[in-house]
Structure 1
Amino acid sequence: MSETTADSLYLEAGTPAYRQANLAMFLGGFATFSLLYGPQPLLPLFASYFGVSPAGASLTLSASTAALAFMLIPFSMLSDRFGRGTLMKCSLFGSAFFTLLLPLAHSLPQFLFLRVLLGVAIAGLPATAMAWLGEEIAPNARGRAMGLYIAGNAFGGMSGRFIIAFITEWSSWQTAFLVSGLIGLTAAMLFWRNVPDSRHFRARPIQISNLIADLGQVLGERGLQCLFLVSFLLMGAFVALYNYFGFRLESPAYGLTQTTVSAIFLLYALGTVASAWTGRLVDKIGRGKVLWRTLAIMACGLLFTQFHSLWLVVPGVALFTIGFFGSHSTASGWVGERAGSRRALGSAIYLTAYYLGGSLIGSLAGYAWSWGDWLGVSAALACCLGLMLWLARRLPRLPNRQMV
C-alpha cells in the first residue's frame, strides 16, 4: 500500500466513519471508568460494612486498578498480534460480567477477588484504545478524538459513581452493582456495533526478545520517562482526592448524607467538557503549552479545598477535576506522539504507571488522612503537583528521539 493510499484511509474529522469511531471510543471510555470506579463513593460504607480502616476500604478500588495496571503490557502484546478491536470488545463484555457477579460476594476477600478479575478483564480496552486512535484517526484530528475518549472516561466516572451511590442509599450496594453491570453490558453491545474495523493495523508476532528491545527503546526515551512519571503522580493525586473527600464530607463537621456526598462526582461533567476542549487547544498551540497550565489549574483547585465553606471547597474540587482531565488528555496523547511506531507499548506503560499511581498513592494517602485528616492528604497532593509542574516545564526542551 502506497503512502498516499494509506493516508486516504485515515478517519477524517467530520466524516460519518469518524463520528462513529468517536461514539464507540466514548462508550468504551465510559464503560471503563463507570465499572472501575463505581465503588469509590461507597468507601465509608465499606469501612463500616466490612469493619476495616479507610485505607483498608480503599482496597475495593485499588484491587481492580492494580490488576489492570499489571495486565496492560501483556494485553498490548496480544493486541499487536490479534488486533485492537477484538480485544477491546472482549474486554468490555468480560468486565460487565464480573460486575454482575459482585452482588454475590458476602465477604471482603470475595469482593476483592471479583474486583481483581474485573481489573484483569477491563485492561484490554485501555491497553489498546490510544494505539487504535493513533493508527486510525487522521493526524490533524487525533487531539480531538483523544479528548473525546477521555471525555467518555470522565462521563463514565461521574455517572457510574453517582448511580451506585444513589441506588445504594435507596436500596442496597448489591442492587447498585447489578444495575452498574447491566449498564456496562449495554455499553459493550453498542461499542461492538459502532467501532470501525482497523485499516492500518499490521499484526506482529509475540516475541519476548522483541518486547525487551521495544521496552529498551520506549523506557530509554527521556521525554517518555517524564510522561510516565507524570501519569503515576497525576492519577495518584486524583484518586486520593476523591477517595478521602467523601470521608471529609461525611464527618461531623459537615454531616452530609451519602447521596449528597455522591453529588460531588457530578463535577466529572466538567472533566468531560475539559477533555474535549483541551484536545482542541492542543491541536492549536501544542502539548507543552497546555500541560503546565492544566496542572496549575489543579494546584489552584487544591488550594481552594483548604477552606471550610462548601462555597469554596466545591469549586476547588471542580477546578482540580478540570485540570486533571485536561492534563491526562494532553499527556496521554503526547505519549503516542513521542513513541511513534511503539505507541501501543508506550500507551500501555503510560497507563500502567497511571493505574499503579491510583492504586498506591490512592491507598497510601489513607495514612496521611489518619495522620492529619484533610490537611495531611492535601500535603501529599501538593508534593505530587509540585513534581508534575517541574516535569511539565522540562518536557518541551527534551529532544524527541525517533523509534526505529
Structure 2
Amino acid sequence: MSSASSVASVSSAASVSSASSASATSPVAPCASSASASSGDTRMAPGGPGYRRMSLALFLAGVATFALLYSTQALLPLVSGDFGATASTASWTVSAATGALALFVLPMSALSERFGRRTVMTASLAVAVTVGLLIPFAPNLSALVALRAVQGAALAGVPASATAYLAEEVRPRALITAIGLFVAGNSVGGMSGRVITGWVAQEWGWRVALGVLGVVAVGCAVAFRLLLPAPRHFTPGSLRPRVLAGTVRAHLANPLLRRLYAIGALFMTVFGGVYTVIGYRLSEAPFSLPQGIVGSIFLVYLVGTVSASAAGKLVGRLGRRGALYLAGGTTTSGLVLSLAGSLPLVLLGLVLITAGFFAGHAVASSAVSHTARHGRAQASALYQSAYYVGSSVGSTLGAVAFHSGGWSGTVSMGLLAVAGVVAITVAGSRAARVEARRGLVPVR
C-alpha cells in the first residue's frame, strides 16, 4: 500500500467501523495528504523545526498526567491499612480522579477552543500539581478522595487539548506517530509514578511517596511550558452553549466516532480494573511481595510505551480494524495467562495486557483525531470522557469483582470488556463492506 492510501485508510470510516455519510462523502485524508505535500504547509513534521521540542513537551505532559492521575493506585493496600478501608472503598481514590476527569473533559475542551490548547494545558497542569502537593496532608479517606476528584477535574484540560493541538500543528502523515508519543508519555508516567511511590512508600509511607511524586510532576509541568512551541494554526472558537451542544451532537451522530468512543471505554475498563487490584493480589499469598517490588511491577508499562509508539506502523500493515483485533487478542491472552499461580506467568500476562491496551488506545484515539472535521477538541474530549468513564468503572468494578470472586472475578470482568471491543469491531467490519459495495469507501 502506498503512503497516500495508508493515510486515506487511517481517516476513512472503514478503518474501524462503517463511516458516517458525512465521512464517506467528504473524506479528510486525500485533502490532508495534499496539504502535507504542499511546499507551503507550515505544520510540524519529523525532522522539522519545533517537532522535537513539541514531542518532548507533550511527552512530559503525558508523564505528569498519568503519574498524578493514578498516583494512589499502587498504594491502595497501604491506604486501605492506614484508614481501615476495604479494597473497593480505597479504590475510590482512583475512581474519583478518573471520574472527575471524564466529567470535566468536555467543558475544558470548550475552554481550549476559545483560549487555546497551550493555555488550557498549562493552567490544568498548574492546578493539578498544586493539588498534588496538598494530597499527602489529607487527614482522612474522605478528604483524600475529595482532593483526588479536584485533581482529576484539573487534569481534564490536558488530554483533549493535547490531541487537538497535534491535529492542528502536525502534518497528517506524522499524526499517528505524534499521538503515539503522547500516549507513550502516558505509559511512562503511569509506570514511573507507581514505581517511585512503591519504593518510597516502602521506606517512608504512602504520604511521603505522594509528596515526592508531586515534586516530580512540578518539574514536568515547568518543562512542558518552556518547551511547547506556540500554536500557529489555532483559530479561536465560540464558548456559546448552543454552538458547543451542536458540535457535540454532530460528533455523537457519527457512527464511526461512537464506535471509537465505546472501544476506548472498554479497553480502559480492562486496564483500570486489572491495575487497580493487582497490588492486592501480589501482596497477598501465595506471592506476598513487599510494597517496593509490587510498585516495580509497573515497569511493565514500558511495554505500553513501545506498543503505543508502534501504532502507526501497525495500522499501516494491518489496517485500523486489523490492529484493533490484534490488540484485543493480545489483551485476552494476557488476562488468561494472569490466572496462573506462577509469578513469571502472571508477569507475562501483565505484559500482554499492557501491550494490547496501549496499542488499542493509540489506534482508537488517533482515529478520532483523523475523523473529526471540526470541533476537534470536542471530538477528542468525548473520546477522553468515554475513556476515563471506562477507567472509573473498571477501577470500581474490578475491585468489587476481586472482593467477591478474587482475581478470577477481575479477569472475568476484563474478558467481557474485550469481547465488547471485538463485537464492535466485527460490526464495523461488516458495515464497512456494505459501504465498500456501494463504492463509498475502500475495505480496510
Taking structure 2 as the reference length, what is the TM-score of the superposition? 0.87
SS at match of 1:234: helix
May I ask how many residue pairs the two structures share in their alignment? 401
Distance 2:401 2:45 in 1: 48
Shift of the 6–394 alpha-carbon distance from structure 1 to 2, 3 Å rule, reads farther
Please list every run of 5 or more consecutive structure 2 residues that lacks an aligned counterpart in the other structure: 1-34
- Tell me the residue number matched to 1:112: 145
Q: Relative to structure 1, is the Cα distance of residues 129 and 353 closer, same or farther in structure 2, using a 3 angstrom cutoff?
A: same
Instruction: Report the counterpart of residue 55 of structure 1 in structure 2.
Output: 88
Q: CA shift at 1:285, angstroms? A: 4.6
Structure 1 residues 285 and 200: CA distance shift in structure 2, 3 A: farther
Counterpart pick for 1:314 among 347, 360, 367: 347
| Among candidates 311, 320, 329, match of residue 296 of structure 1 | 329
Other-structure match for 1:250: 283
The range that moved more, 58-67 or 273-282, is 273-282
Cα separation, partners in 2 of 1:6 and 1:29, compared to 1, 3 Å: farther
Match of 1:8 in 2: 41
Question: How far off its partner does 1:312 sit?
Answer: 1.1
User: Aligned to 2:233, what secondary structure does the other structure show?
Assistant: coil
> For residues 388 and 92 of structure 2, what CA distance do their matches in structure 1 show?
13
Query: Residues 285 and 10 from structure 1, CA distance in 2 versus in 1: closer, same or farther, beyond 3 angstroms?
Result: farther
How big is each residue's C-alpha offset from its partner over 1:297-352, in whole Å with a ceiling of 9 and x where there is no partner?
11111111111111211101101101110000000001111222232111101110
Aligned equivalent of 1:150? 183
**Aligned pairs (5 A) from 1:26-37:** 26-37=59-70
Aligned-residue offset at 1:364: 1.8
Q: Partner letter of residue 75 of structure 1?
A: M
**Cα deviation 1:139-178 (Å, max 9, x = unaligned):** 1101110110000000000001110111011112221111
Report the secondary structure of 2:335's partner residue. Answer: helix
Give the conservation status (yes or no) of the 8 Å contact 2:76–2:90.
Answer: yes
Checking the alignment, whether the CA contact within 8 Å between 1:145 and 1:279 is kept in structure 2 is no
Distance 2:312 2:42 in 1: 22
Give the letter for the 1:175 counterpart: V
User: Contact between 1:143 and 1:280, CA under 8 Å: does it hold in 2?
Assistant: no
Q: 2:99 aligns with which of 37, 51, 66?
A: 66
Structure 2: distance between partners of 1:208 and 1:130: 22
Shift of 1:229: 1.0
Cα displacement (A) at 1:13: 1.5
Residue 284 of structure 1: how far off its partner (Å): 5.2
Alignment partner of 1:234 out of 264, 267, 278: 267
Distance 1:177 1:162 in 2: 12
How do 1:201-350 residues align onto structure 2 when only pairs under 5 Å count? 201-283=234-316, 285-350=318-383
Q: What residue number does 1:88 align with?
A: 121
* Residue in structure 2 matching 1:378, options 411, 414, 418: 411
Contact 1:146 1:279 in 2 (8 A): no
**1:310 is aligned with what amino acid?**
L
Instruction: Assess, with a 3 A threshold, how the Cα gap between structure 1 residues 182 and 7 changes in structure 2: closer, same or farther.
Output: farther
C-alpha contact (below 8 Å) 2:108/2:156 kept by paired residues: yes
* Superimposed CA distance per residue, residues 378-399 of structure 1 (whole angstroms, 9 cap, x where no aligned partner): 1111110111012123335446
Q: 1:6 to 1:355 in 2, by over 3 A?
A: farther
- Which residue in the other structure is 1:134 paired with? 167
> Structure 1 residues 338-347 or 297-306, which shifts more?
338-347
Alpha-carbon displacement from aligned partner over 1:226-263 (angstroms, at most 9, x marks no partner): 11111111111101001111111111221111111111
Aligned pair 1:356/2:383, yes or no? no
How far did residue 367 of structure 1 move? 1.9
Distance 1:163 1:263 in 2: 8
- Opposite residue 320 of structure 1, the aligned amino acid is I
* Paired residue secondary structure (1:286): helix
Amino acid at match of 1:392: T
Report the AA paired with residue 241 of structure 1.
V
Task: Kindly indicate whether the alpha-carbon contact (under 8 Å) linking 1:63 and 1:359 is maintained by their aligned counterparts in 2.
Answer: yes
- Cα RMSD (Å): 1.9
CA contact 2:198–2:293 (8 Å) conserved in 1: no
Percent identity, please. 36
For 1:127 and 1:87, the matched residues in 2 are separated by: 10
State the one-letter code of the partner of 1:395: G
- Unpaired segments ≥5 residues, structure 1: none
- 58-67 vs 13-22, which moves further: 13-22
Query: Quick check: 48-57 or 389-398, which moved more?
Result: 389-398
Q: Which residue of 1 aligns with 2:204?
A: 171
Q: SS state of the match for residue 85, structure 2?
A: coil
Offset at residue 7 of structure 1 (A)? 5.5
Mapped partners of 1:380, 1:103: distance in 2: 32
